[in-house]
Structures are given as C-alpha cells and as structure tokens.
Structure 1
C-alpha cells in the first residue's frame, strides 16, 4: 500500500507569504493530479504558537536566517510564520483536500521546532504518524510539498528510519535554497531513498 504525504502547502510558504518559497504555488496542480494514484493521502501543517522559539522576532540579538542554539539544538531563525489560527497557517484553497484523510500538525511546542512530519527536531515527541501509517498497512511513502530542503527532507529521513520505502517527488516539491537541497538530496539517496 502506498501513501502520499503532502507537506505544508500553506499560505505563509507560498508567494506573498512571510516565508515564501519561490514558485511554491506552481506545484499545487501537480500535487492535485497525483492524489488519485495513492491508497492514502495525508497532509501536514506547520502550526506554531505566536511566541515560537524559532522566530527571530523572539530574540532581539538574532537576525532572520541566522543559526543559533535553541535549548541545545541548532536552529535557523525564521520569520514569524504559520501561526496557529491565522490565514498564514491555512492550507492553500487551491490544494484539493477532498482525498486528504488526516492532517498532522507540527511545531506546536514553543521550545522546539519540528521540520519532520514524524517528530520534533529533538525527537522528543512523536506526531503519531508512524503508527497511523502502519495501522493502514502502508509500506511505501511518497513525499511532496514545501520546502524540499527542510520539512520534506527531514520527513523523508524519518520515513526511511521508520522502515518505509521512501521517495521524494521532485516535480511536486520546491526548495527554499536549491544549493542546500542538492547536498541533502545526495544524503537521502545514499541512505536508500528515491527521487521520482
């Protein structure tokens, strides 16, 4: 059984959003067209409290995109984005969600960021996604969405680690930084992942 995991197709990651991925909206029709090919379709939402620790606005001496230590973990300082119950956190209305059976929210604890759909960045708290997929007899997981170099990539690594055959659908993902993604993509392939 195969599942499609749609990562963070939310207003704040789309053109005009606070952490927009260049041409991020161009993948939405592709994702919509893919869904009918899967036994299960699920999605994620970044879902941050307004005072999330990853936000540069919470640290007066840190600039957006600086690297810093957040409670012992390396962290990128992001612009405020995907704040709970705001339009920026909403899934794009252009995304067809009729086949989406579940939405897993991440980044809900202000002390720790959560790129992966499976765990927070310190792997202290699980979203329950692994168990959900196993209960549905999923053996193969294909990932798409935003952004390829962060949330898609780290979700794909955790999917491999959980034992799923894992692939990233290149035509249905976009990266914040293509150079960073090229290095990460090589690492993912070396671990046994596939790029479709």
Structure 2
C-alpha cells in the first residue's frame, strides 16, 4: 500500500515538473527573428548586389551607427585589413573566403586591429593542424563593422573596398545573418 502511494506521488510529481517546464520561458520562448541579412542573395550577381549595397550605404544616417558588411576587392593581409579599418568604431567579425564570419574582440592595450586579425587567423590555423592537407587561411575577404553612415561612406572611397552594405540602425548584433560576397576577378 505504501509503495503504491509513493509511486503515485512520484508520477504526479513528475507530471507537475513537466508541466512547469513546458510553461518556463527558457523552454517556451520563440526564436528571435533573423530577418536582416548582409551579403549576396541566392542567385544575385555581384553587379546587382553592388548596386543594392550602394543604395543601403547612401541611405545610412550620417549620425547613427549601423552594422555593415565591408567586402574587400581582394583578400587582404591582417596588416592591410587593419589599416583599411583602423578608423572604424568597431570591427565585429571577419569573413574568410566563403566561411561564416569569425567574431572578433576589440584590440587590447598595446595591440591594433592587425594583431586581432592575425591572432584569429593563427587560431584558425591551429584548429586545422593535423586534419590533413587543408590550406590555412592567410587573408581576410570581408569584415562586419559598426559605425555611422558618414564614416562608412568615407571608408567606401578606399581602393581596397569593393562594397559596403549597411543594415538599418536598429539591427542588433547576433540577430542578423551574413552571407559571403564573391568578388569577381578583375
């Protein structure tokens, strides 16, 4: 009799825990929208993308910071990328070839953006060691940055910059996707 009572209490307790877990915010929250995207759309030519990116750059508010995908005309060394992006407020990630963006920290005291780029490339190289004949990346093809429209438009005038696509100012880091842009060889 006692065993049956304990078993019934255990089943009721388990059902209670399951009901509470179902209504808990941690298990029941909807996934935040991922509507904003940077980069080329499926089947979009580089020319069409470049025009769309240019429009977004022109529409970017001069005084409000926004996230932007800066695509280089060709792969840049860490030093070249660091020099090109030295005056931007924040470099959030770097893009190598057609891979997903690699998040980046801000430089620590005594370091610059080139050091951050090189450290991340070294980390990627270390993670590829021993896998086989996998080429270790040495150049950066693009970066996700954050700054105001005025700075972004000035940046677009540099010779190593192929395109800059800007998101709306209300876009939040981690809430938008990034698709790499393939720049045609010239």
Q: TM-score, normalised by structure 2?
A: 0.24
Higher percent of residues as helix: 2
Q: Which has the larger radius of gyration?
A: 2
